[in-house]
Amino acid sequence: MDSAAALEPIAAPGVALTAAPEFHIAALRYFDAEGFAAALKPVIGGPLPQPLRAVCYPVAAVPSGLLLAWRSPTECWLLTSDATAFASILNYGARVAAAGCLVDQTGGFTVWRLAGTRVRAVLERVGSSASMPAPGEARSSRLAELPVTVLRVEEGGVLLLVERVYAEHWLGWMRETMADLA
């Protein structure tokens, strides 16, 4: 999947899909969100996201910041492009394991950036009208017949988290969808 051809942008008028390989991804899993957030506050800088929300935290130790996105009542995503900070957060998470756990998912998921004026049109074609999150929202839905988390935290676009095992299928759907839009 990580061949140069697979990472080439896919574009149509008004929209482009690009790989975002700079992100490191962790699943934060817990039973007590408040207790886990309190244990992690020194490294994440704020509370865990509320249901269906995505938040960006500027953290002094992480120049690129942290993105946290709700996934379920007992899980959220953590994304950062800072490899050193990511390793430090995972290490810190191991020390507060009684409150929950952090699982490195960087090798299991890919992040894609879909940007432009026709983002909604693409998401509706490969999913449904409910696939487009509001600003600051995280939605999990089926896109291209796959479970995908869509985060709307960037102006003019969304981030999409796709399981790496489905990357070839995902890219095939996206190439065909973009070709139809062109």
Rg (CA), the chain: 16
One-letter identity of residue 118: R
Q: Which of 59-68, 70-79, 127-136 has the lowest mean pLDDT?
A: 59-68
The percentage of the chain sitting over the pLDDT mark of 90, rounded to a whole number, equals 69
Q: Which CATH superfamily is domain 10-21+108-181 in?
A: Probable tRNA modification gtpase trme; domain 1 (3.30.1360.120)
- Pick from 96, 122, 110, 119: nearest CA to 40: 96
Using CB atoms within 10 Å of the CB of residue 178, give its burial: 0 to 12 exposed, 13 to 18 middle, 19+ buried: buried
- Predicted TM-score (pTM) of this structure: 0.91
Tell me the CATH number for domain 24-104.
3.30.70.1400
User: Cβ distance 18 to 81 under 8 Å?
Assistant: no
Average pLDDT over residues 148-171: 93
**Cα–Cα distance for residue pair 108/9, rounded to 1 Å:** 21
Statement: residue 53 has pLDDT above 70: yes
pLDDT at 4: 45
What angle in degrees, to the nearest 10, is found between the helix axes of 83-95 and 33-44?
140
Q: In what order do the strands lie in the sheet with 62-72?
A: 54-59, 62-72, 75-80, 24-30, 100-104
Q: Average model confidence (pLDDT) for the chain?
A: 90
Instruction: Provide the residue count of the chain.
Output: 182
**Res. 33: pLDDT tops 50:** yes
Residues of the chain with CATH 3.30.1360.120: 10-21+108-181
Q: Where in the chain is the domain with CATH 3.30.70.1400?
A: 24-104
Angle at 108 (CA atoms; ends 131, 43), nearest 5 degrees? 85
pLDDT interval class at 1 (50, 70, 90):
low
Q: Which tens digit of pLDDT belongs to each residue from 81-137?
A: 999 889 989 998 888 888 899 999 999 999 999 999 999 999 999 999 999 999 999
- Cα 51 to Cα 43: distance, rounded to the nearest angstrom: 21
